[in-house]
Structure 1
Amino acid sequence: MFSTTRPLYGQTAIVTGASRGIGRSIAIALGRAGAHVVVNYLKSQAAAAEVVETILNLGSKAIAVQADVSSPEEVETLVTASTSLGAPQILVNNAGISQSRLLLDTSLEEWDRMLKSNLTAPFLCTKAVLPYMLRSGYGRIVNISSIWGISGGSFEVAYSASKGGIIAFTKALAKEIGPSGITVNAVAPGAIETDMLQGLSQEEMLLLQARTPVGRLGHPDDVANAVVFLVSPRTSYITGQVISPNGGLES
């Protein structure tokens, strides 16, 4: 039942890494749009519970599920738990990590960890929800990439490679399952005020803001708004695309 105010009414959405930052804003925005939301978290149980409470107060259903989404067994647990709200129709692969380091200083263990968190986890989650979406002939998958996945970032080779990989994953999967009524898109944020920017100095933050044509850093809600647009039932003709909410920052 489509509504302009609650276009996702009754749909079940899984948001990975939803206890804070961009994931938190996405989960709440989906709940506000009427979706039942599975709030995935790894360690931040109290924060995840707060997100669930916020969504419940918006009139939608929500549960918090702890799971390491880079683990096949825990992903299965996550998806199985989500069916208590209904078969998953929306998946937002948001969980991930970042690291700023020279390539020569990046160990093989750090490289593997980056790819496991940012590329393998979306693969596992997508593979787990696809059977539900294929059976219903409907689904919306959104993968959170990064502006550096488009252009590459100095001192962030591993991160850029993992986020560029998720863009290629998005485009290829969109072609593969397009005839099944399932769309697959990516959102590649620019400089967003989250924990991932905490390593920057005040001077670096001001410089980044000055480089952004709209004159400010992004807010997690700027990313969430793009996600809500892409998972709408009315965006069935948009797939395999990358939307970059970046305030005009050059990629």
Structure 2
Amino acid sequence: MEIIPAIDLIDGQCVRLTQGDYAQKKVYESDPLKMAKSFEAAGIQRLHLVDLDGAKARKITNDAVLKRVAENTALHIDFGGGLRTDEDLKIAFESGAKQITGGSIAVKDPETFKRWIQDFGGDKIILGADVHGENIAVSGWAESSDRKLLPFLEEYLGLGLQYVICTDVSKDGLLQGPNVALYQKILAAFPEVKLIASGGVAEFDDLKRLEDIGVYGTIVGKAFYEGRISLEQLASFA
């Protein structure tokens, strides 16, 4: 299982929100490159870099940070947050992203998202499936759509999409453990998907539980930043 640390960006700094609430922001590191290098030094190979300013502005905003991290590490970076246009994608890839993640656009502008899969390939585009219950959440989790999770996944996986990041919004940032049952349900329906679990990881044993059910990767955020899981423990998985 891949361990994928998350760096969420506001004003170029590493922050964490609780359940996507910008009013519940905590800054953990002012230099994202320093944090990224610490992950790389531990043997971690992937990084989930989220442009929270971009998510709010609905356009890529922290591309300079992306470029700096990409040019100074060998980390495989997937980048998301506010990507809406072909120009946003061009900037992200030219700045060093290996993959991009699209969430709200897959609900609100499915034709564009489908074209991205066709143009860039199912290995370059990650579907961000954030859920409130069984419904897909959009707009930085501020609202729930009427799209149900499994039919939503089926629509895009049928186009050759390979990777899905699924976040249970009710778990994110609360350090209460991941929604293992949700991920088991997804894997039972789509055994070939490269499923990346996100949200709720609170302790090292959570990583083992997710590995045991067969997820491709797990995003680790607040549990690391709050010292609940050490860099050495992440390195042991890496």
Pick the TM interval, shorter chain. Answer: 0.3 to 0.5
Could you say which structure has the higher strand fraction? 2
> Could you say which structure has the larger radius of gyration?
1
| TM-score normalized with structure 2 length | 0.40
TM superposition score normalised by structure 1 = 0.39
